[in-house]
């Protein structure tokens, strides 16, 4: 561990190294150097390090060593590498052909997984500028390489704002689920994974949907449209509802939604069971509910409707008629 003293000693040692190799170091200089070493053990230790460094050069024939080290240094230097590794963009090879494989290319590669727990929401910005918003209980794999940008939605829901490719090379952007592939032909869309189907909503430009087992059923979905699809076919088309992604801003926004459906949505952000008594299931609810505090949302229900919240346990809550 470096203490203040040993840091100072290292600096002094480096300075002595320069002074003594200058070609005009005098007897007095050498004397002073020896005295400096004797002053404290940190000094002698520091000088040992200098010797360890210079010792590494001993066995190398000068011209050859110089040439080899310079050839390799010709590429961009790797101090940038540490910076790049900090974000999850990785520097990639120009191609499997090898060569100077660590050279920085203009497009960054990412190979990563991201997930959220129940009630957790997350925003991720990837190296190409793509914004990914992950909703509750979501799991994705990201795989960007030199040829394409891929996201696999394993479960849950994402809102995607694709980043613009900065460089001449355009890589396609594809999101896959169990049910098929959604290729972005533009910028802003969301995909939600259900057990039997996936739901795509397009907010800007367009996407192409290809069901997994039936490529001929492919369809281009445009701005303002939503489509549910499964492995074999398109299922139901509807109008895009911007409120459906209000979660990305921290809210559950509904307009005349049946209470049972509302509670099913709210339950996605909570651990445990949230039941709705059939007698009140069809009550219609509208409003904007902060997802950061779903207990408050439930409590608010009692102000709007003639209902009661029955908390059997923390993890078993029923909404029943008052």
Q: Which of residues 21-50 bind other proteins (CB under 8 A)?
A: 21-23, 46, 49-50
Q: How far apart are CA 263 and CA 252, in angstroms?
A: 11
Residues 51 and 41: their CA atoms lie apart, in Å, by 15
2 contacts other proteins (rule: CB under 8 A): yes
CB 218 within 8 A of CB 185: no
User: Contacting other proteins (CB under 8 A), which of 61, 106, 278, 306?
Assistant: 61
Residues 6+ apart with CB under 8 A from 162: 130, 149, 173, 184, 186, 187, 188
**Which CB atom, from 92 or from 200, has the smaller least distance to other proteins?**
92
Q: Tokens representing 258?
A: 């049946």
Q: How many residues bind other proteins (CB under 8 A)?
A: 56
Q: Is 118 in the site for other proteins (CB under 8 A)?
A: no
Can residue 72 be called a binding residue for other proteins (CB under 8 A)? Answer: yes
The residue within the footprint of other proteins, chosen from 25, 88, 108, 253 (CB under 8 A), is: 88
Confirm or reject binding of residue 304 to other proteins (CB under 8 A). Answer: no
Binding to other proteins by residue 83, rule CB under 8 A?
no
Residue 44 structure tokens: 């002698």
Q: What is the DSSP string of 186-230?
A: SSEEEEEE-SS-EEEEEEESEEEEEETT-GGG-EEEETTEEEEE-
Residue of 54, 166, 271, 284 interacting with other proteins (CB under 8 A) = 54
Is 91 one of the binding residues for other proteins (CB under 8 A)? yes
Give 20 or 220: the residue with its C-beta nearer to other proteins. Answer: 20
User: CB atoms < 10 A from the CB of 170, how many?
Assistant: 10
> Closer to other proteins at the Cβ: 101 or 304?
101
Instruction: For residues 150 and 131, give the distance between their C-alpha atoms in angstroms, rounded to a whole number.
Output: 14
Q: Interaction with other proteins in 208-237: which residues (CB under 8 A)? A: none
For helices 27-39 and 41-55, what crossing angle results, to 10°? 120
Give whichever of 113 and 310 is closer to other proteins, judged by the CB atom: 113
Site residues (vs other proteins, CB under 8 A): 2, 10-11, 13-15, 17-18, 21-23, 46, 49-50, 52-54, 56-57, 59-73, 77-79, 81-82, 85, 88, 90-93, 96-98, 100-102, 111-114, 141
């Amino acid at each position: 561990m470096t203490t203040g003293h040993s840091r100072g000693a290292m600096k002094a040692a480096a300075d002595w190294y320069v002074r003594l190799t200058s070609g005009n170091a005098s007897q007095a200089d050498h004397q002073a150097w020896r005295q400096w070493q004797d002053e404290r053990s940190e000094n002698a230790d520091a000088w040992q390090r200098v010797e360890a460094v210079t010792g590494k050069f001993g066995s190398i024939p000068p011209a050859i060593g110089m040439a080899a080290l310079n050839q390799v240094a010709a590429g961009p230097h790797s101090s940038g590498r540490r910076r790049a590794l900090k974000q999850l963009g990785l520097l990639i090879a120009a191609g499997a052909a090898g060569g100077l494989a660590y050279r920085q290319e203009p497009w960054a590669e990412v190979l990563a997984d991201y997930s959220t727990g129940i009630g957790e929401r997350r925003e991720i910005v990837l190296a190409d500028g793509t914004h990914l918003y992950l909703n509750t209980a979501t799991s994705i794999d990201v795989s960007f390489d030199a040829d394409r940008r891929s996201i696999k939605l394993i479960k849950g829901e994402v809102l995607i704002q694709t980043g613009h490719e900065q460089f001449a090379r355009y890589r396609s952007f594809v999101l896959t689920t169990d049910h098929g592939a959604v290729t972005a032909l533009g910028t802003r869309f969301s995909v939600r994974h259900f057990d039997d189907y996936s739901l795509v909503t397009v907010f800007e430009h367009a996407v192409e949907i290809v069901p997994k087992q039936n490529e001929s059923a492919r369809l281009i979905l445009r701005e303002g449209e939503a489509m549910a699809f499964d492995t074999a076919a398109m299922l139901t088309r509807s109008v895009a509802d911007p409120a459906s992604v209000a979660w990305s801003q921290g809210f559950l926004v509904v307009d005349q939604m049946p209470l049972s459906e509302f509670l099913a949505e709210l339950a996605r952000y909570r651990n445990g069971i949230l039941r709705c008594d059939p007698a009140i299931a069809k009550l219609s609810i509208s409003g904007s509910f902060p997802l950061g505090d779903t207990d408050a949302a439930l409590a608010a229900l009692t102000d709007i409707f003639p209902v009661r919240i029955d908390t059997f346990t923390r993890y078993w809550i029923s909404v029943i008629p008052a």
